[in-house]
Chain A
């Protein structure tokens, strides 16, 4: 890992709380810190409700952070955004969502959908230039220029996700946040999309924050992984750290639930349960403990000793 680089994204003590009533606040993200380096893929995993999407949306500033710092490419984007920072952010950070259909306007042709961001930010010389940019990105994601004049509902799920990727990448962003981008697809089509995202990264050098609730695909695309639970990052490390030496019981339970295409293993396996209250784990009492230079766990001293002894 090129840790001597400056991170592209530096997140420190980020909190995002939603006030539901006068007496009740959901602490969707409750003080997380991590760095993402240029050209890498950072996988963010955890069960639904753990705060992954909220983290992504706060980073791209759909929300005002409750607390904490976000430094993107050397700019502080955690407070009120200047016009210039806003434009920089809307161009250089892009998001791909889970349900490609829900976020593609059915009345717009693929050409308009993909060109929209370029138009808003005036990132083209003339009509011709705009269309060529769209054609070129369509080919990169494995579609053809003929597809530009069609409507989203004329595509399969996998193809629609390619349109979503094209729409993000046409901006030539530095960071792409993919929020459950492949979760709704068939396993065979997931493989196509993951391979495509990897190829594009090799070609364009784009950095990814890859959000998913399923660890198995994350392994193939991520250089490093953060495991999130109930608003906290409970474990972070290289993909190898997480898969070969999981420390936190929550990470272990996630790993134990990944189905394997091997009936003799599956039939005899009982997945591990993890209930933080039953085990008396209090995330707010934990601090970051280092397993190695690349591998961190949120734990109290006592928990850390117990979990690493296992």
Chain B
């Protein structure tokens, strides 16, 4: 790697990842050729409908994939500084799940799940649960760990840390519990924080506060975040880069502006257009027709073709490659082929994009 200052540190690099699950009814090809890069201090969001493969991707990174799953091919290279201060790169797919969990989980890579209640132990005090990892990984004394825990509780915005320290999860509200889960995840100063729908179960007012908290902590601690969500509003708030996933593939990726202000894939159009927009008086929502494909069956051509009003004949036959459309923007759609006919984005989305462009122009005067 070059030593130039402006070169960003790559912490995670996923290449050609393929994962399948063996089930009673056959083999599910859940992840079909995922490529992803994560740099220090940056946030990528993986967005897509349920079943698109978001959780499987990150569970593989954490070494917590279900036992019927198999990595068919691909690599997940993780670059980190070990306890002796040496920079190392390991391919996580070459390690056993146990090894990943023992060596990296909590210490280097930490995760926040959707439902705080399932990731907290109801029989243990909050303080104990946060200290557990510190004592195991950082070799701190009890007093040091307690001091650190109280500071952490304060960092995640919990009032009266002293009192909360000895309380149990059920004594806290849903939003407070999720803050505790975040505190546990950050207890050992990880490089990578993976958040799998961390606010889906929370009220919007609390969601907004949790997202603001994660952003603030990320800045302070310079950690990299992978954010999983089906909600593009959340993506807009937190992400630097976006990977749009559909049926186990990334079908569009780019920086946040490229994805939100210049989307190219009809699936991304659909996701953006079906988001309610509180600024227009339109009374009808755009909806993507149909449902995601059954991954038990072999997918011929573009997996989205059957739901895609803009599908070309070739979409039903040949899987589109990733087209480079400039900048950091990549799109897996035949519509980006120079020979493809020109198409218009859906009406609702076009109106919104035009309005945003106008507002920006006015702001710049």
Over the window 134-156 of chain A, the binary record of Cβ atoms lying under 8 Å from chain B Cβ atoms (1 yes, 0 no) is 00000000000000000000001
Residues in B with CB closer than 8 Å to A157 are 50
Say yes or no for A271: interface residue by CB 8 A criterion: yes
Contact in complex: A266, B237 (CB < 8 Å): yes
Contact in complex: A270, B205 (CB < 8 Å): no
Contact in complex: A261, B50 (CB < 8 Å): no
Say yes or no for B203: interface residue by CB 8 A criterion: yes
Contact in complex: B203, A259 (CB < 8 Å): no
**A216 with B278, Cβ < 8 A, contacts A186-B49, A188-B270 known:** yes
A267 to B279, CA, bound (A): 18
**A195 with B285, Cβ < 8 A, contacts A219-B276, A257-B204, A263-B236 known:** yes
Total number of residue pairs linking A and B with CB closer than 8 Å: 120
Say yes or no for A123: interface residue by CB 8 A criterion: no
CB distance from B284 to the nearest CB of A (A): 7
Contact in complex: B275, A213 (CB < 8 Å): no
Say yes or no for A194: interface residue by CB 8 A criterion: yes
**A261 with B260, Cβ < 8 A, contacts A191-B286, A271-B212 known:** yes
CB distance from A268 to the nearest CB of B (A): 10
Say yes or no for B277: interface residue by CB 8 A criterion: yes
**A220 with B212, Cβ < 8 A, contacts A195-B287, A254-B204 known:** no
Identify which of residues 203-233 in chain A touch chain B, using a CB-to-CB cut-off of 8 Å.
213-217, 219-220
Say yes or no for B360: interface residue by CB 8 A criterion: yes
Contact in complex: B49, A261 (CB < 8 Å): no
Q: Chain B interface residue count: which class?
A: 35 or more
Contact in complex: B209, A260 (CB < 8 Å): no
Say yes or no for A262: interface residue by CB 8 A criterion: yes
By a beta-carbon cutoff of 8 Å, the part of chain A in contact with chain B is 47-48, 156-159, 186-192, 194-195, 198, 213-217, 219-220, 243, 253-267, 269-271, 273-274
Say yes or no for B161: interface residue by CB 8 A criterion: no
Contact in complex: A186, B278 (CB < 8 Å): no
A206 to B179, CA, bound (A): 42
Contacts A187-B231, A254-B205 given; 11 further ones with Cβ under 8 A?
Answer: A190-B274, A191-B274, A215-B278, A220-B284, A258-B278, A259-B207, A260-B278, A261-B277, A263-B260, A265-B236, A271-B212
**A188 with B271, Cβ < 8 A, contacts A47-B205, A260-B236 known:** yes
Residues in A with CB closer than 8 Å to B231 are 187, 259
A87 to B353, CA, bound (A): 51
10 closest cross-chain pairs (CB), A and B:
A259-B233, A271-B208, A191-B287, A191-B274, A191-B285, A216-B276, A266-B237, A266-B236, A47-B203, A257-B204
Say yes or no for B264: interface residue by CB 8 A criterion: no
Residues in B with CB closer than 8 Å to A159 are 291
A171 to B56, CA, bound (A): 41
Residues in B with CB closer than 8 Å to A47 are 203, 205-206
